[in-house]
Amino acid sequence: MVLSSQSIRSDGRRMMSSDGRRIRRRGWKLFALLGLVIVFGWLGWRFFGSQSEVPADEIRTVNPALRVEGPPATPITEMPVVAIEPVNDVPEMAPQVATTVIGDAKPKANQNQTAKAASQTSAQNATPITQQSADANTEPVITADEIASANSALQAALAQVDTDPVAARASLTRLLEGSATTTTDRLKAYDAINKVNIMLTFSERVLANDPYAKQYTVKEGDSLSNIRKSLNLDCEWRFLQRINHLPTERSIRIGQVLKTPTGAFHGEVRKSEFRLNIFEGDGPGRVMVASYPIALGEFNSTPTGAFAIRPRSKLIDPEWRNPRTGQHFESNDPANPIGERWIGLKGIEPHNKNFEGYGIHGTTDLGSIGKQASMGCVRMLPQDVEMVYELLTEPNSIVTIAP
């Protein structure tokens, strides 16, 4: 026989046990739901969040000795990690960190560069389509007489290539800086500027009337690196080896006469033409020394304005991790999508000074040149980016990205 008091206690224990099981089941369900939210949130950020093409902590060299000139940097921290607004940096990068400007530097920019860079400030918050339309609407109206005059100037410059290449280069530079040339004439001028500079810039010859080249006689104890430093040359020592056709950096001898450049080299990206033009010198007397085809950011995501070369950011044969897929490419991997060279860029204008994840690099996708195909960076053919790597240096080189 069960006492009434015992029956009540038994029923109470059963009720409490049942309630406990329900509470535990509810807790596990909430815990499982929270876990699913975290997992899917992470997957969404990992695969659909947009980042710059080369995040700061993913560019490094396995061997610090591969860096060119200057003190070695800590490989993994040279560029702060940035977070980018969705859809491939459109219209501009919006980093959450890295708000400093390069030292106190106030890089020199010629009038054309300053004007082109300033024109971008008002369009900073526009969508790519709107920005492209605005750029098109601001193109100056060119008359038939201006086109004819530009064509006449082109023919005169082409006629000077063999007789006075220095004058021809200056004329072609002024012509390409203008806007009155047709697409056909511009292509002819680019082709001519590259050909004339094979001798003027990229050979050991020094013409008497060329202000951008001089000669240096090798002394005891010299090396290409020491010569570059002692003369304050704004180029890599590899460029001295290239233009003097030296088999190795040690192939110099006392009394040997070497050709050296005299001016700093700057870059100008013309997005509308998918070209990177390299200039030597500053101001109205600068000359174009090379013009290369490039690829740009998809959805018009390559930012505009003036950029300096980020200190200690130039890398040879870097590792890389794709920020979208997480796929990692080791140094010396021939499949590495960014190729063998990386030149980091840092914005130096109010509207782009926080843009720190962009750069100039090579590519394994040669068919992308001439297209909007990257995550915002400037892609180049392997042989072209090697040359640009030797020419652009910090702190004096400026790269201006124009519409």
At residue 356, the pLDDT reads: 77
Candidate from 8-17, 309-318, 333-342 with smallest mean pLDDT: 8-17
CA 313, 394, 165, 202 dihedral sign is negative
What CATH number is given to the structural domain containing 124? 2.40.440.10
Query: Residue 75: pLDDT band by 50, 70, 90 thresholds?
Result: very low
Smallest Cα–Cα separation from 279: which of 396, 379, 187? 396
Give the separation between CA 378 and CA 357, rounded to whole angstroms: 12
Q: Using the CB atoms, write b or e for 376-400: b if 16+ within 10 Å.
A: bbbbbbeebbbbbbbbbbbebbbbb
**Which pLDDT belongs to residue 32?**
75
Q: Are residues 225 and 309 in the same domain?
A: no
96 and 227 belong to one structural domain: no
Domain that holds residue 244: 214-262
Q: Are both 119 and 225 inside the same structural domain?
A: no
pLDDT mean over 8-37: 63
The pLDDT score that the predictor gives to residue 304 is: 96
Q: How many residues are present in the chain?
A: 403
Number of domains in the chain: 3
- Asked if residue 12 has pLDDT above 60, the reply is no
Q: What percent of the chain has pLDDT over 70?
A: 68
- 351 assigned to some structural domain: yes
Residue 376 has pLDDT above 90, yes or no: yes
The confidence band for 106, taking pLDDT boundaries of 50, 70 and 90, is very low
CB-facing half-sphere around the CA of 336: CA atoms within 13 A: 24
Residue 145 lies in a domain: no
Q: In the structure, how many helices (H) and strands (E) does the chain have?
A: 10, 14
Q: What is the DSSP letter of 120?
A: T
Q: What letter does residue 319 receive in the DSSP assignment? A: B
Give per-residue pLDDT as tens, 177-200: 988 899 999 999 999 999 999 999
**Is 258:246 a contact under the CB 8 Å cutoff?**
no
Q: Tens digits of per-residue pLDDT, 44-58?
A: 554 444 444 543 333
- A 10 A CB-CB count for 53 gives 27
pLDDT tens figures, 238-257: 999 999 999 999 999 999 99
Regarding whether 270 and 373 lie in a shared domain, the answer is yes
Asked, as a colleague might, if the bond just before 91 is cis with ω within 30 of 0, I would say yes
Q: Are residues 42 and 55 in the same domain?
A: no
Q: In this structure, is residue 303 part of a structural domain?
A: yes
In this prediction, residue 107 carries a pLDDT of: 34
What phi and psi, each to the nearest 5 degrees, are found at residue 297? -70, 140
Whether 150 is covered by a domain: the verdict is no
Do 63 and 119 lie in a common domain? Answer: yes
